[in-house]
Structure 1
Amino acid sequence: MGSLHFSPSCGVIKTLYGMIGRQHKITTLGFFLVILLITAISVQWMDMSILSGAFQRNSNSVFPEVSCSTECPERTVLVPEAAQSSVAEACPEYFRWIHEDLKPWKATGITREMVEKAREVAHIRVLVVSGVLYVEKFKQVFQTRDMVTLWGILQLLTLYPGRVPDLDMMFELGDMPVIKKQAYRAAAPPPLFHYCGDSSSHDIVFPDWSFWGWPELKIRPWEVLKKELQETNEGRKWEDREPFAYWKGNTKLSLARRDLVNCNATDNKEEWNARIYDMDWHREKKQGFNTSDLVNQCTHRYKIYVEGISWSVSQKYILACDSMSLVINPHYYDFFTRSLIPTIHFWPISEKNKCRAIKYAVDWGNAHPKQAKGIGRAGSQYVQEKLIMKYVYDYMFHLLQEYAKLLRYQPSVPEGAVEVCYEALICSVKGLRKRYRLNSMVNNASESSPCSLPLPSNPQNLRAFLEKKRDLIRQVELREAANENSRQAQL
């Protein structure tokens, strides 16, 4: 991995966006230079406040090039007093899963040896020491997942300066969970952060990179895209949408997706009420992503979610469309999806009989438009209201706070780790990558405290919640079976 150090000339950018006012002593001369820079380029740069959701798009959105060298600026680490808040609001319910993800280490704590053990499968090691972020890279990462994940952690450090504890974490940045439960029945597993988990793994679930934008696929940062999707929903009524189920994506990533193609309408097959479109991302990139804009895909009353290699970042975009989401039996989860409830936030679809299940769901929804529209709206409200970036950062904050409590040693910067600073992650990229990072930048420390972390669920309540979800799915399956029996009897 190349050097992550950049010169004080890049520090001007950091100061310009209010990022290091709490960490550096700014001279009077530096202040006036900043004012001059703001005046010179404000007509060209886009700025967004993550917490307010304000997004200003200028006619000229090309960012000026900045001359950067190879060193992060010298910094004086200041630890401000914790932000004061009279009464912290309650976190969304899905925050309770933090306790479940960290439960394997509740009795033993986490030792340096445990963390080092996770190095065998990790892509990077991430440390926070005295409010400064460091990284050690072990192996190549797909696209820029590592850098964008680090960018997200930098935003957290800015949002809650001085409040993120010292940390030592291993991250696996692929698709599949890797810490299998069956391998650690007699001992505590190595702690490993990852974007998703499943019932057979101990991976600690962490928000994925796409919340800060996915420039390789031209998918904008979540706070920007979420607002655009909401505006689209307001201008496109559910009743006026196509009365079919829609899915568009790479059909080659999994058996479930390849099988989903069979649900498409053709001249020689039964009408399954599905419209499935294959996406060749290589061809799409050559064409400038003209047909892949997610804002233009909220055109049907029903949208299908189907996993790829594992979980897919697309679920939040699908839920945000106001369409009734048809979720094909998922095997994986990310940090917010475990609290989604079948028939409330989405409609469950059997993996084995997906075509017939999709047809039944669409027929039922078209016959019960008020209920179907309500499910679509509930799923959309879930991500529009409970998945704002403030909560994404609060989830990260509480997860890392609880993780730090389990550490049985004082983290220190290992040999080979390098500092990660705003200068590096802004000045080292151009075009969309720079734009997305600037669009997803936290501009100021939060004036309020993080939301209040819910207590752990007691085992009885957790079992009851999971059984409720299973029962709701069984009810849908019984209704599908009864409908199919009735259809067969009429033949």
Structure 2
Amino acid sequence: MAEHVKHVLGDQTIHGCFSKVGVGRLKGFLSTTTIFIFFFFLLAIAALLNWMDIPIIQGIPLGQARSSEIHHESVEFPFNCSNLVNYPSVFEPKESSTNGTCPDYFRWIHQDLKQWKSTGITEDMIERGKPSADFRLVIVNGTAYVERYRMSYQTRDVFTIWGILQLLRFYPGKVPDLDLLFFCGDDTAIKKRNYKGRYAALAPPVFHYCGEKAALDIVFPDWTFWGWGEVNIKPWEETLRAIKKGNERIKWEKREPYAYWKGNPLVSRDRRLSFMKCNLSAKHDWNVRLYKQDWGQEIQGGFKHSKLEDQCTHSMTLMIQPKYYDFFSRSMVPMQHFWPIRRKNRCKHLKFAVEWGNNHPHMAEAIGKAGSKFIEEALTMRNVYDYMFHLLNEYSKILKFKPTIPPNAQKLCSETTEQGLWKEFMVQSMLKSPSDKPPCALPPPFEPQAIQASLDAKENKTTQTKTWETEYWKN
């Protein structure tokens, strides 16, 4: 979520797949994660720092959407492994409680697992996938075990595992036995080109924070939903509250008429240094204001100048054409949730986008509000946990072997995971009681023609902006 913002805020351009354009996963937006956050994404998300290869130029004011918090009134879990007898082991929601259908982006779960639906997932596939993974996670009888293969960057693996532990607390006894591999790097791990024809059945299933057209990675929410301690990004619920509050500081009509981005130009150096050429100069004003973020100075100064709530106070999100996608971003629509920016000649595209927004303030505001609404309503932490649950549940259905605890695996619980410098972030994101209602209902998979129709509709929207821009530069 946090390179994701779940990417619209923060270091929004990163190379790789983080976005939370969202926040958290921000790796591809100008906002990954792109505000969208990771992107978008105004999306608030994008507010995060991004790691996706998608620069996103930040955006959009958050609307007055409903709260994304998860409220609990039932018994709280103990915070240690030695007192497991007190943990609820069976999920018992209120009988009268019901939950509706999940957001549309949950349909992509079926598509991400399609590669293995006909063959199933064998133990041999798991073994072959180990060289591509940072850790192996096994859940047996509601208890998680992890076998680590290599260190991931910063604490990506730690907070990913922490998030899965919270899922087990949210739906105790409901997450099925499973055995999976997880990769925490930037680029995708399992390339389609290596598994064509007779080799298709050999593709190992590997979970990851983002996907792309040329890869088979199974897309999972990124670690930043539970916090990104190294850059002082708080857990998603707290981050979203702060962004919404910060967004209220400047009324829409009072906002500066420029595209805004702040990040580290030395990350994904070729793309970002090229992008920095769009900044104000003696020769050009592309209607873009770009600011360098020195994380070393920010760490020393207590992160006083990198708060997402101080940056996500502008307008609609401008998303530079992404290579990667987050688990939720495939259901975002250009000209509905964000303005699409092509990579080539991006300075000219950015200038036109800003001019269009300034000349069509009501339409720009509508895009901004729609992006904000998407993030606030579709990307709540309850939906994040429900997405995790359904993805893991569907994945478990295609396992062709009974998961067992690896000899070198470590048993996990909150007590063994929350420790060290990042304990504060973990305590803030820890669920203290189970959900009082069942997960939302997983919608059926897309029909093949529906996926193509969606792609065509998005392309048509993008083509419309190209037509408008061509006319603009002719005049």
TM value normalised by structure 2: 0.81
Deviations 1:150-191 (A, max 9, x none): 110011001000000001010000011010001111222100
- Tell me which residue corresponds to 1:415: 407
Question: Measured at CA, do residues 251 and 384 of structure 1 come closer, stay the same or move farther in structure 2, by a change above 3 Å?
Answer: same
Q: Do the aligned residues in 2 keep the contact of 1:164 with 1:397 (CA within 8 Å)? A: yes
After superposition, residues 200-279 of structure 1 pair within 5 angstroms as 200-254=214-268, 255-267=270-282, 269-279=283-293
Gaps of 5+ in 2: 1-67, 74-78
Cα distance change of structure 1 residues 81 and 358 upon mapping to structure 2, 3 Å threshold:
closer
Residue 459 (str. 1) matches residue 448 (str. 2)? yes
How far residue 213 of structure 1 moved from its aligned partner, in angstroms, is 0.6
- Asked if structure 1 preserves the Cα contact closer than 8 Å seen for 2:101 and 2:441, the reply is yes
Report deviation, 1:81.
4.8
The within-5 A match list for 1:54-453 is 72-73=81-82, 75-76=84-85, 79-83=89-93, 84=95, 87-185=98-196, 186=198, 187-188=200-201, 189-254=203-268, 255-267=270-282, 269-300=283-314, 323-426=315-418, 428-430=419-421, 433-453=422-442
Asked whether the 8 Å contact 1:125–1:170 carries over to 2, the reply is yes
Shift of 1:86: 5.2
The offset of 1:72, in angstroms, is: 4.5
- Deviations 1:239-297, CA, capped at 9 Å, x for gaps: 11111000001112223322110110112x21100000111212221222111011001
Question: Offset at 1:87?
Answer: 3.9
Q: Contact between 2:138 and 2:145, CA under 8 Å: does it hold in 1?
A: yes
Quick one: structure 1 residues 373 and 78, their matched pair in 2 at CA, closer, same or farther if it must change by over 3 Å? closer
1:198-243 residue CA offsets vs partner (Å, 9 max, x unmatched): 0000000000000001010001111001011112223321111111
3-state SS, counterpart of residue 117 of structure 1: helix
Deviations 1:270-325 (A, max 9, x none): 1100000111212221222111011001343xxxxxxxxxxxxxxxxxxxxxx210
**Where does structure 1 lack aligned partners over 5 or more consecutive residues?**
1-48, 55-67, 301-322, 487-491
Q: Name the TM-score, length of structure 1 as normaliser.
A: 0.78
Q: Evaluate the alpha carbon distance shift between residue 259 and residue 425 of structure 1 in structure 2; reply closer, same or farther with a 3 A threshold.
A: same
Q: Equivalents in 1 of 2:288, 2:157: separation in Å? A: 36
Secondary structure, counterpart of 2:82 in structure 1: coil
| Of 229-238 and 81-90, the range deviating more from structure 2 | 81-90
State the 1:429 CA deviation: 1.5
Contact 1:53 1:223 in 2 (8 A): no
Question: Partner amino acid for 1:199?
Answer: K
Whether the 8 Å CA contact 1:50–1:442 is kept in 2: the answer is: no
SS of match in other structure, 2:317: strand
Cα deviation digits, residues 383-424 of structure 1 (max 9, x gap): 111101000000000000000000011101011001111111
Contact 1:251 1:278 in 2 (8 A): yes
Output the CA distance in 2 between the equivalents of 1:257 and 1:236. Answer: 28
Structure 1 residues 291, 453: closer, same or farther in 2, change over 3 A?
Answer: same
Does the CA contact (< 8 Å) of 1:346 and 1:375 recur in 2? Answer: yes
| Structure 2 SS opposite 1:226 | helix
Equivalent of residue 468 in structure 1, options 452, 457, 460: 457
Does the aligned pair in 1 maintain the 2:245–2:309 contact within 8 Å? no
CA-atom RMSD in angstroms: 1.9
Structure 1 pair 85–452 and aligned structure 2 pair: CA distance change class (3 A): farther
Kindly provide the CA deviation profile for residues 445-477 of structure 1, in whole angstroms up to 9, marking residues without a partner as x.
Answer: 111010111100100111101110011111111
Amino acid at match of 2:326: D
Identify the residue that residue 40 of structure 2 maps to in structure 1.
none
Mapped to 2, the partners of 1:109 and 1:82 lie a distance apart of 31
Q: Residue 326 of structure 1 contacts residue 349 of structure 1 at CA under 8 Å; is this kept in 2? A: yes
Structure 2 residue aligned with 1:20: none
Distance 1:87 1:278 in 2: 48
Query: Does the aligned pair in 2 maintain the 1:53–1:224 contact within 8 Å?
Result: no
